[in-house]
Structure 1
């Protein structure tokens, strides 16, 4: 998902969470393989997978694996990292796959998912980035691409568009009597979209346009971020008699005296105050003091006994040797939020205890989606914590002294935890809608793992705090370790695909009973340099009250505060023309001449630069609203994409100067490794496409396709005409089928 919870609040929550979970299995390679295999067979994180009806199955299931790259998938299938008879391997054997799938520009998660879902380019559907500015908003206001109006809106008013420039596929399907299910698929969220920054903003896209038969929106941050805890023996004392009694009543036996400590972790979620306590148990009857299990509970509730009905979980019991977190529902929270606890180190004598509490999250329960969300809450559980880059990068409080190995193990636990949750959510959606015509599923991996661990370029510092750790000074063991984590992300995603195939079943030849299409939104590339664009513009003399850059990954929308367009615009049309030309010149002149990061002579940093087209008449009422192949209504007045190797994200605080630089105001050392958002025609940015099913021919490699071809292909499989706004074409994969 390019960086990571997504759609709500809408702007504030998304800004924190898409940053927080950016870099959409344990330390040793052998453990990675074993844990992944074990999880695929048995791990359900204390929640049973819902059985799926076998008498019928959805006609088409679209699965998006965020960030999956064809070259990685094919190499992993060849090397046996991915099972060639399961998941993507099975679909490849039984159906078709694309050699390359050209995605949208820029190759960012929100933009490219909307392109998949509409069959229209980013410029046409008006979602060109993960974060951008609506020109109807005050100049400093942004909107998340996940919660922005699909197909644009009318700037007059502003108001909902009478003739949207793109239409989500589910709108046309439902208009033709088809049943559509969306399991956290971007754009299908049941939200009334309004203009950020405008008081009493009117609705510019109603929830009805963004709602399907069974709609589950992506989860949201519940207001409390992750935190690490370091305890020692001195922090523990004899547990209260009440806690001892409650543990005994719960059937929990300790062969050493039960001890108790406060985490000093008080917070408020959903209007309820929580005070987290921990008890230590020794569950091994070996006549030694050997604490091996921690129990986490709220001081006000204690440790209740009995069975718990979802979303409730009761106390979180964590046995350190299991290397697995335990979920913890925040009882009484109005947003039905929850978290989880992970024990990364537990000395038998409690001399060293390190604990991670994950962030609190919840599923938005907008009126349009409340019934579906409540079904998920009571059958799958609260929104599970997802992979949080703030932990391994030590940005969340309390993790400073955790060793790398433990932080990486925490992150890998989150990868498995969240993909398992998303998969179970998808299976529940299918279970409740076995006769659906289209089910749209989103899986966050391998995106998060690639962001965090794609350490594959010698110019990337293996230690983000040490600019010397590039080239021959890279930590080779860390490079190898990170390689296994990327593989584990692909394995988790592939396992999700196989579980969905298992749910709908296969015929005697092994072909899935549903037409299953698996795509990704974009590929991935490593990067070595973080770029501060607003600093560069300031250094070039631009007034940032008149010119402002809104960046996502390596893509930038640069806006000019135009009078008569933005509500508080200050730039005249004549000055706009001058500023636009100056911005283009400045971007072309940004070069990197540091030999440590170049492969040849100095290099221009920007690869693609697209200005908003201007009318010949400065008095034209459409001035400042012109569009083109790569510029939509709310694209910047200059839209630009950097070359591979550079990224606007990842700037550290304090800033780390690159090796050989004397100034760090523009270029610096980033604190993570993988990026997307580059030119979509670059091979590494290609998306995947694999498909098989009863109505799909078994014909192997179909060459190159485009992600905007997915929507019309689904329409073709369902015998529904595509909307006039669709720019893609139906792929020639349809067979005679039997239904």
Structure 2
């Protein structure tokens, strides 16, 4: 007996010692965490902090350092901007030149998606791993494991296997169920099908249960199963509450969906409304057991949002926000679990909700379609909610940090209100540079150039012989064709959009630029210029920048996915793919991609960590400066391709 007691005590001491050592190591280890909030505007962040709406970000600014602003790269788009943050290099080095571009070695009309493309230089999580550090990324743009090995621990967007659905279910008396639970009213059943992309459909059975002994027929619980059998993995949910399903699809992949039943009749004699989210999966790459550990603890990678369901009335605004919050918190919770469990030296993760809400609801300019003061205030609340969701993420992260940890809050770009859509391919078509048939299909054998827009920017690709598949422009004509295209766009003028009470709007913008603490005079100058131009009713050159893109050697060689000409729009304009109108009302209310010097397109940079200045505003930075600063903090060599500089205020005392 004595020997057994001694053995048990020894094991307890060993385990306790091991736990203490792990705790000491975790506390002593210096971890760098970077969170990117897509579309987080510098001016709005400062405004909300000043109004007391972002307490956790306020804590960061009080205990750390905030740059006057962060300038992103050009064009100010999500994929190239994240590539710049991750590498410290511009698009001509990363090859991520837009959110979409012409596919290399393909016909002129073939496009490639930047978010599934490989960076041409190594990002932080790859380079740091090569230099002996442990790295992790969750949902971070550019960290796509299908393009090659990323960090030690990688989680990324997967596929949407089935779109969301709003359905009505008819319940009837249940039969042939095994292991059915106790019920105070006769069991009822229904079913629904999910059609999976390129696969046969999945059928799910629903069992309705009256779980309350209240002498009333009140079906308040729903159980969903792939068979008429209740077992441990059967999903139970109360009426009006969220439930989830995880199931296996082709290739032994795990996919999942979230659902909610909303019966109007507790007796289920009327049809029951059911909303089901899209069926999604995620990519998980890491050492043995990592994928299983994540899925067991957190389930499958959830859908990011569901605009379609909101538009169709399948869900309320509150439910819509719950879907977005689920995604943001899933990414955050998984990231912080990885931080604690796997102890990476570098952890980078991403939240998209600010960008998404600003694209849909940035209704702040009277020239925008559908603008009213009342609607503008309503939509501002939606954007405010998105910033507060980001603040919650910051709060969770700060709570999970140890004393030696460093936290960076960054954004890839800001966001501007859009009132008008430009169609650059309409301009090319009108000047005989792009030719279509009667159905609008581009005739490649007659087309000299095509524009591929993204946000407020577009690359124009010349259909050059020997470079493009089916190219028709001779090498000797290249310069002449490029000059012709540039002159066409430089000469385009449109009538100024003067809808709404613009003078009061511009005066309000002027006052806001004066009142917002910490902002430069740039915003004041922009507003004053707009007001002056409005009063004189000057015509607008909507293509604010028409820039030839330098080539290495001759035009025969196509470098880094870039076009031959880069177009960038003036404030208020977004670029579309159509060919019907020179300018028309904007479809999206928020846009980016234009000149990154504009105030509303400036990004955020906040840092908190050991030996960083506390409560100080540091000088403006470039997003290219983030990577070299992190290399310095991690004690690593900075690669030669990095074009940014270390942020001196954060590194000189280390």
What range describes the TM-score normalised by the shorter chain of this pair?
0.7 to 0.9
Shift of 1:294: 4.3
Matched, 1:236 2:138: no
1:182 lines up with 2:99 in the alignment: no
The equivalent residue for 2:38 is 66
SS at 2:308 equivalent: coil
1:282 Cα deviation from its structure 2 partner: 4.5
Structure 2 counterpart of 1:380: 298
Q: Does 1:645 align with 2:561?
A: no
SS in 2 for 1:550: strand
Q: Which residue of 153, 160, 165 maps to 1:214?
A: 153
SS at match of 1:591: coil
Q: Distance in 1 between matches of 2:25 and 2:213?
A: 44
Matched, 1:519 2:410: yes
Shift of residue 339 of structure 1? 1.1
Q: Deviations over 1:97-144 (max 9, x none)?
A: 112100011111110010001111123322111111244444332222
DSSP 3-state at the match of 2:50: helix
1:622 and 2:554 are equivalent in the alignment: yes
Aligned to 1:105: 74
Q: Could you report, residue by residue, the CA deviation over 1:536-586 in whole angstroms, capped at 9, with x for unpaired residues? A: 432332234232221211211111121222243332123333332232233
For 2:332, the equivalent position in structure 1 comes to 423
Distance 1:146 1:588, change over 3 A: same
Residue aligning to 2:190: 261
Report if aligned partners of 1:554, 1:678 keep a CA contact under 8 Å in 2. Answer: yes
- 1:160 aligns with none
* Structure-2-length-normalised TM-score: 0.81
1:580-606 deviation per Cα after TM superposition (whole angstroms, max 9, x unaligned): 223223323443326445843332221
On the 8 A contact 1:335/1:363 being kept in 2, the answer is no
2:485 to 583, 602, 610: 583
Counterpart-to-counterpart distance in 2, 1:53 and 1:361: 37
Deviation at 1:275, TM superposition (A): 1.7
- Which sections of structure 1, spanning at least 5 residues, go unmatched? 1-50, 152-165, 193-206, 309-313, 462-468, 507-512, 616-620, 627-631, 652-662
**Displacement of 1:345:** 6.8
CA distance in 2, matches of 1:667, 1:725: 40
Structural RMSD (CA): 3.1
1:362 and 2:300 correspond? no
1:286-339 Cα distance to aligned partner (Å, 9 max, x none): 4444444544443xx245322x4xxxxx3252531x5xx322112455221111
Distance of 2:355 and 2:452 partners within structure 1: 22
SS at structure 1 position matched to 2:323: helix
Q: Which runs of 5+ in 2 are unaligned?
A: 1-22, 435-441, 503-533
Whether the aligned pair in 2 keeps the contact of 1:66 and 1:445 (CA below 8 Å) is yes
Q: Does the CA-based 8 Å contact 2:239-2:260 persist in structure 1?
A: no
Structure 1 residues 496-547: Cα deviation after superposition (integer angstroms, max 9, x where no partner): 12212212245xxxxxx30111101111122122333334432332234232
1:291–1:349 contact (8 Å) kept in structure 2: yes
CA contact (8 A) 1:713 1:730 kept: yes
Change (3 A) 1:302 1:703: farther
Q: Residue 59 of structure 1 contacts residue 514 of structure 1 at CA under 8 Å; is this kept in 2?
A: yes
Call closer, same or farther: CA 1:650–1:353 in 2, change over 3 Å. farther
**Judging changes above 3 Å, is the alpha-carbon distance between structure 1 residues 607 and 276 closer, same or farther for their aligned structure 2 residues?**
farther
CA deviation profile, 1:253-305 (whole Å, cap 9, x unmatched)? 65444433344x3413685631244444445554444444544443xx24532
> 2:5: which partner in 1?
none
Could you tell me the TM-score, scaled by structure 1's length? 0.73
Alignment check: 8 A CA contact 1:712 1:730 kept: yes
Task: Give, in whole Å, the separation in 2 of the partners of 1:279 and 1:532.
Answer: 52
Is the 1:514–1:693 contact (alpha carbons within 8 Å) kept by the matching residues of 2?
A: yes
Going from structure 1 to structure 2, the CA distance change for 1:557 and 1:369 (only over 3 Å counts) comes to: farther
Aligned 1:272-421 pairs, distance under 5 A: 273-298=201-226, 301-306=227-232, 308=233, 314-315=234-235, 317-320=237-240, 322=241, 325-331=242-248, 334-343=252-261, 346-348=264-266, 350=268, 351=270, 353-364=272-283, 372-392=290-310, 394=311, 399=312, 402=313, 406-421=315-330
How do 1:59-138 residues align onto structure 2 when only pairs under 5 Å count?
A: 59-83=31-55, 86=56, 88-138=57-107
1:730 aligns with 2:627: no
Matched residue SS, 1:604: coil
8 Å CA contact 2:159–2:281 kept in 1: the answer is yes
